């Protein structure tokens, strides 16, 4: 699969990969406390995209739905270094505003010391860190009844997949020379669920997939049923590297629900508890059994659900900077082991 030049660089690649993953795990120590809850009203504020960088230049573009009712803003980070002959690797990041907030000047410098990838932060055209309503609409493959009886919500993953693959991805490719064999998608929580659903339905869209803390509980664990089974049965559209990242304390008690929101919080806890605690690990094992899929499971033992956003997005970016990008390398450490076939 690799050319002669790539093969001759394997010892150097292995050493670089070990350093990359060591750095990624070290970053976990600086993650937010396990029980911290996101503020739904938090604004994005100033980020690395707003400051000069010797390593990246930033641009942005907006894509609208056909009726103009929905708008996605993509902030694009393009390495200042010369593009490799094959083009840059590219990492597409869902929840783009929140993901961008986890990048700093030092991380950009780390990426530049390796094979710096193009960074496509796919967010919404507003200044919210997390747009809860929009992401629930876009990242979920099926609609469910709201726990508070407010009617169905979600179910827009197929429509958003068309926007991502047919509108956003071509724009990124026009603005930077991209190596299509090294394009990856990262998502956290509902974004991690979307990444898996897109793998199952449009597996040729990306070569690598980072599914962090995927919301496998959505719609009674629907994605663990027929969608997964159909993917495992049908011919693979292209080889895939799949990394599932999970916090070891994702199910620990979270902050108390706000007054008046106890019923919704209790229903949400029940939905999560209905899925086995090791569902993500077992999913990685089943995916690895499919010829053409290389899957691994990475557990960040001390992290809960919220802090996994920061830990996983930075780990994915660092993994993409390794040449060739191999997120399932055996030398990445005990907590990041490939699944045996």
| pLDDT tens-digit readout, 45-81 | 999 999 999 999 999 999 999 888 999 999 999 999 9
pLDDT at 244 over 60: yes
pLDDT digits (tens, 9 = 90+) for 105-141: 999 999 999 999 999 999 999 999 999 999 999 999 9
What confidence category does residue 334 fall into, taking pLDDT thresholds of 50, 70 and 90? very low
Q: Are 97 and 118 in contact (CB under 8 A)?
A: no
Q: Which two tokens stand for residue 231?
A: 């993917």
pLDDT digits (tens, 9 = 90+) for 172-203: 999 999 999 999 999 999 999 999 999 999 99
Q: Which two tokens stand for residue 143?
A: 């609609």
The pLDDT of 272-294, averaged and rounded, is: 96
The residues with which 92 forms a beta bridge, in sequence order, are: 120, 185
Going from the C-alpha of 136 to that of each of 140, 156, 157, the distances in angstroms are: 6, 8, 9
pLDDT at 41 over 90: no
Q: Which domains does the chain have, with CATH numbers?
A: 55-252+263-338 (3.40.50.1820)
Q: Are 90 and 83 in contact (CB under 8 A)?
A: no
Q: Which two tokens stand for residue 321?
A: 């900077």
Kindly state the DSSP code that residue 54 receives in the 8-state scheme.
Answer: S
Residues shown for the chain: 341
Computed from CA positions of residues 262, 266, 272, 278, in that sequence, does the dihedral angle turn out positive or negative?
positive
The mean pLDDT value of the chain amounts to: 85
Catalytic machinery residues: 189, 250, 305
The half-sphere exposure of 205 on its side-chain side, counting CA atoms within 13 A, is: 25
- pLDDT at position 260 is 65
% of the chain surpassing 70 pLDDT: 78
Please tell me the distance from the alpha carbon of residue 237 to that of residue 292, in angstroms, as a whole number. 9
Please tell me the distance from the alpha carbon of residue 151 to that of residue 110, in angstroms, as a whole number. 46
- pLDDT at position 9 is 41
Q: Which two tokens stand for residue 226?
A: 């027929």
The pLDDT of 268-293, averaged and rounded, is: 94
- pLDDT at position 21 is 41
- pLDDT at position 268 is 81
More confident residue, 9 or 322: 322
The pLDDT of 315-322, averaged and rounded, is: 96
Q: Which two tokens stand for residue 294?
A: 């290389």
What confidence category does residue 145 fall into, taking pLDDT thresholds of 50, 70 and 90? confident
Please tell me the distance from the alpha carbon of residue 277 to that of residue 275, in angstroms, as a whole number. 6
More confident residue, 99 or 341: 99
Going from the C-alpha of 229 to that of each of 162, 189, 195, 295, the distances in angstroms are: 23, 21, 16, 16
φ, ψ of residue 293 to 5 degrees: the values are -110, 130
């Amino acid at each position: 699969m690799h050319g002669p030049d790539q093969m001759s660089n394997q010892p150097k690649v292995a050493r670089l990969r070990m350093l990359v993953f060591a750095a990624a795990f070290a970053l976990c120590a600086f993650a937010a406390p396990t029980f911290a809850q996101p503020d739904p009203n938090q604004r994005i504020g100033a980020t690395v995209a707003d400051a000069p960088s010797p390593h990246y230049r930033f641009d942005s573009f907006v894509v609208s739905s056909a009726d103009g009712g929905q708008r996605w803003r993509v902030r694009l980070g393009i390495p200042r270094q010369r593009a490799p002959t094959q083009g840059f690797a590219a990492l597409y990041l869902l929840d783009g505003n929140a993901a961008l907030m986890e990048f700093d000047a030092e991380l950009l410098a780390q990426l530049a010391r390796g094979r710096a990838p193009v960074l496509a932060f796919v967010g919404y055209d507003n200044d919210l860190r997390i747009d809860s309503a929009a992401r629930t609409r876009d990242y979920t493959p099926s609609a469910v009844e709201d726990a508070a009886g407010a009617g169905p919500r979600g179910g827009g993953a197929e429509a958003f997949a068309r926007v991502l693959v047919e509108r956003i991805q071509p724009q990124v490719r026009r603005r930077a020379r991209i190596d299509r064999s090294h394009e990856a998608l990262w998502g956290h929580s509902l974004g991690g669920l979307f990444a898996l659903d897109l793998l199952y339905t449009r597996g040729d869209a990306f070569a690598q997939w980072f599914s962090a803390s995927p919301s496998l509980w959505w719609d009674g664990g629907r994605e663990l049923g027929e969608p997964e089974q159909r993917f495992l049965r049908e011919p693979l559209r292209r080889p895939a590297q799949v990394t599932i990242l999970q916090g070891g304390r994702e199910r620990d008690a979270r902050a108390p629900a706000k007054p008046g929101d106890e019923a919704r919080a209790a229903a949400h806890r029940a939905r999560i508890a209905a899925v086995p605690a090791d569902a993500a690990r077992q999913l990685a094992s089943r995916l690895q059994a499919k010829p053409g899929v290389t899957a691994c499971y990475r557990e960040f033992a001390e992290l809960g659900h919220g802090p996994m956003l920061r830990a996983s997005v930075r780990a994915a970016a660092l993994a993409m900077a390794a040449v060739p990008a191999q997120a399932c390398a055996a030398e990445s450490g005990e907590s990041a082991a490939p699944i045996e076939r």
